[in-house]
């Protein structure tokens, strides 16, 4: 089955620690995205990548970093510089071409930092 996997589903960390969230897709999509969702709010874009070894900052990139070494993988690191890291993180992917195509989402990782 094609899809997007994110692991782990729940993640707990102590304040001051960096943590990396995994995102893998086997849909052969060129573009991948990371969003953050806070309670009662919509999704906000952190980073996106439209091709291997290239990525762009979204609206709330401060305190986060990404890499795109393989087409299938787009890990997100939440650094200690992120002031409010506790949130629900969603990874997505899409094809790239003329027009704008729907993004397909993974199941998400709920990060809690104490």
Partner 1 sequence: AQKVTQAQTEISVVEKEDVTLDCVYETRDTTYYLFWYKQPPSGELVFLIRRNSFDEQNEISGRYSWNFQKSTSSFNFTITASQVVDSAVYFCALSEDASSGSARQLTFGSGTQLTVLP
Give residues in contact with partner 1 (CB under 8 A): 30-31, 33, 40-45, 48-50, 56, 58, 88, 90, 92, 94, 96-108, 110
Q: Least distance from C-beta 40 to partner 1, angstroms? A: 7
- Are the beta carbons of 108 and 23 closer than 8 angstroms? no
CB of 91 to partner 1, least distance (A): 10
Instruction: Specify the residue, 11 or 31, whose C-beta has the smaller distance to partner 1.
Output: 31
* Residue pointed to by tokens 């729940």: 10
Token pair 């091709």 is at which residue? 51
If the CB atoms of residues 2 and 99 are measured against partner 1, the closer one turns out to be 99
**Closest CB to partner 1 among 1 and 102?**
102
CB of 45 to partner 1, least distance (A): 6
Rounded to a whole number of angstroms, the minimum distance from the CB of residue 49 to partner 1 is 7
Cβ contacts of 39 within 8 Å, gap of 6 or more: none
Is residue 55 classed as helix, strand or coil in its secondary structure? strand
For partner 1, the closer CB: 85 or 106:
106
In whole angstroms, give the CA distance from residue 27 to residue 17: 32
CA-based Rg of the chain, rounded to a whole angstrom?
13
């Amino acid at each position: 089955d094609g899809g997007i996997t994110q692991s782990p589903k729940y993640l707990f960390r102590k304040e001051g620690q960096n943590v990396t969230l995994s995102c893998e897709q086997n849909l052969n999509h060129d573009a991948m995205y990371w969003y953050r969702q806070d309670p009662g709010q919509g999704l906000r874009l952190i980073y996106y990548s439209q091709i291997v070894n290239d990525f762009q900052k979204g609206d709330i990139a401060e305190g986060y970093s990404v890499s795109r070494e393989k087409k299938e993988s787009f890990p997100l690191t939440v650094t200690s510089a992120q002031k409010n890291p506790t949130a629900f993180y969603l990874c997505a992917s899409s094809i790239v071409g003329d027009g704008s195509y729907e993004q397909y989402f993974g199941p998400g990782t709920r990060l809690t930092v104490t």
